[in-house]
Amino acid sequence: MPRNVAPANITSAKDLVQYNVVDSEPVEANAAPGYIERYIHSEIYRRFPGVRSVIHSHASAVLPYSISGAKTPVFDVAKYYKSDATRDLLIRDRHLGESLAKYFHAEDADVVETETLELDHSVVLMRGHGYTVAAQGIEECVYRAIYTRDNAAVQTESLGLLAAAYNLSYGPRVDIDYLRPDELSAAGKIAMTGWARAWGLWVREVEAIGLYVHER
């Protein structure tokens, strides 16, 4: 993982810190200070052996959906604080990381703790905090993280248009015309074959923008 700097300021391997998945402790005793919330990553890796990439984001487009009170599954860290915990919403220890990792299972999943576990969900919203994405590889994880943000923005605009139209017309209440279940399934499969094209563009953008420096 990166040391405790903004990701855009990472320039070489010296900016990376290697951690043991089992306890989130640095492999090297003299490692640079890292992120407090590394337990998000380690506990998902521990629980799901097939996961190879985890992204945690505070994207403002997604944040409203974690606090709106809508019927959306959300990880509420307040339910898992121990009595002496620092209540700042951060995933500061293995207990909170493990509690979050369990939300990647379906609510009705019959989970046997000793079996090889697989993800039921790729994204988990976190109340007042952001969201976390898990995937089998870096490219897929980045794709899901970016499109979670973009899709949230689209839905917010759609809800705003719907509310405005309803207030102006005073007509019968209508709802957003969401994808049907069969469309969701088919569109999801297509999306997972198309991320390579998007990934290629994002790599080129990083190469072309002067903000990013890569020291060999």
For residue 41, the domain's CATH number is 3.40.225.10
- Look at residue 208 and tell me if it is in a domain: no
* 3-state SS, residue 183: helix
Q: Which residues contact 50 (CB under 8 A, 6 or more apart)?
A: 116, 118, 119, 136
pLDDT of residue 71: 74
Per-residue pLDDT at 164: 81
Which amino acid is residue 3, in one-letter code? Answer: R
Ranges of residues in the chain with a pLDDT under 50 are: 114
pLDDT of residue 168: 64
What pLDDT, on a 0 to 100 scale, did the predictor assign at position 165? 76
C-beta of residue 40 within 8 angstroms of C-beta of residue 123: no
pLDDT number for residue 176: 86
The DSSP result for 11-38, as a single string, is -SGGGB--B-TTT--BSSTTPPPB-TTH
The Cα 129–Cα 44 span in angstroms is 18
List CB contacts of 21: < 8 A, sequence separation 6 or more: 42, 45, 46
The total of structural domains in the chain comes to 1
Q: Is residue 195 part of a domain?
A: no
* Residue 114: predicted pLDDT: 47
- Domain for residue 202, yes or no? no
For residue 8, is it within any domain? no
The predicted pLDDT at position 111 comes to 56
Has residue 70 been placed in a domain? Answer: yes
* Upper half-sphere CA count for residue 52 (Cβ side, 13 Å): 6
Q: What pLDDT does 76 receive?
A: 96
Contact assessment for residue 163 and residue 91, using Cβ atoms and an 8 Å cutoff: no
Is residue 62 included in any domain, yes or no? yes
15: in domain: no
Domain of 144 in residue numbering reads as 36-178
Residue 216 located in a structural domain: no
User: What are 57's strand-pairing partners?
Assistant: 131
Active site amino acids: 37
Q: Which two tokens stand for residue 188?
A: 């999801």
